[in-house]
Amino acid sequence: MTNTGWMLALVALTAVAFLLQGIALLTIASRLKSSMMQTERVLNALERRGNQLMLQVSGLVDSLRPLSGVAKSVSDNVGEIVEIARRRAGEIDSFVQEMTETVKMQASKLDYVVTDTVQKFEQTTAGIQRDVLVPAMEIASLIKGIRTGFDYLFSKKRDKKEKEGTGTFSQDEEMFI
């Protein structure tokens, strides 16, 4: 395999690695988003149950005035739990948004790297062809021409020596010369 082939294979391998990394990040982001949505559903159910509980506690407080202090404390605790759960859901949402933005930025960087690498590869290939292959072909052609000239020159001298050694030329040979 030539150097160009290896470079192309490495570029392709790098692009695939970046693509797999982007896919992995997108998968993580989607799973985090689905878990956030599930957490939000649980929180909504918890809030509904908390509201029902607060209504029941309110009725109980009315019926049991002496225990109203305890009921107020339970109500406050449920309110705090709901507030903490909402705050956590907001944090998860922010995290998912950051992950999504990071994935988008990584995908953009990947696109830039692949595009830039392909452009540089094309420029390098054109430069090699222009600066190395074309002059090499010209030099090879020049050498081949010189070799052919020498072969022709030396073959003529050999022919002359062989003909002079016999001392006689046939009529056909004389007419040819």
Task: Give the model confidence (pLDDT) of 114-164 as tens digits.
Answer: 788 889 888 888 888 888 888 888 889 999 999 998 888 888 766 666 666
The answer to whether the CB of 19 falls within 8 A of the CB of 110 is yes
Task: Give the model confidence (pLDDT) of 50-81 as tens digits.
Answer: 888 888 877 776 776 665 666 678 788 888 88
pLDDT at 171 over 80: no
pTM, two decimals, is 0.35
Mean residue pLDDT of the chain comes to 82
The stretch 80-101 carries a mean pLDDT of: 86
- CA separation for the pair 1, 127 (Å, rounded): 20
Taking CA atoms, 39 is separated from 29, 52, 96, in Å, by 15, 20, 13
The answer to whether the CB of 92 falls within 8 A of the CB of 42 is no
User: How would DSSP label each residue in 19-87?
Assistant: HHHHHHHHHHHHHHHHHHHHHHHHHHHHHHHHHHHHHHHHHHHHH-GGGHHHHHHHHHHHHHHHHHHHH
